Amino acid sequence: MRIQNGDKVKVITGSFKGTVGDVIKVSPKKEKVMIEGVNLVKKHIKPNDMNPEGGIIETESWIHVSNVQIYDPKAKESSRIGYKTVDGKKARYFKKSGQLIK
């Protein structure tokens, strides 16, 4: 999977189209990612030690990795990811700008 934790991504399809956010979690087995502030769902929780009153909370949910693209801050738009060897190590780069990722 080309997307990793901490990457800034842009949603390219769905109801959150155009939203940019950071990746919180990645699930390679399910091919899904969790993005901060995207695909918010309401969950009903029972009272417990951490939340004695219980109630309804809003939390992020999974989104399929095919619905997001990595966001290139230099080009200020989404881009594809490429791989090249730098100093004997495999490195990711933005295909639009050619800049290395992180």
**For residue range 32-50, what is the model confidence (pLDDT) as tens digits?**
999 999 999 999 999 999 8
CB 11 within 8 A of CB 18: yes
Class of CATH domain 8-94: mainly beta
- pTM attached to this predicted model: 0.84
Q: Any idea what DSSP says for residue 100?
A: B
CA end-to-end distance (rounded Å), the chain: 17
Domain spans of the chain, in order of start: 8-94
What average pLDDT is seen over the chain? 95
Cα 24 to Cα 28: distance, rounded to the nearest angstrom: 13
Cα 19 to Cα 86: distance, rounded to the nearest angstrom: 31
**For residue range 5-14, what is the model confidence (pLDDT) as tens digits?**
999 999 999 9
Which of 60, 75, 70 lies closest to 1 in space, CA to CA?
Answer: 70
Assess whether pLDDT exceeds 90 at residue 102: no
Instruction: Determine how many CB atoms are found less than 10 A away from the CB of residue 99.
Output: 12
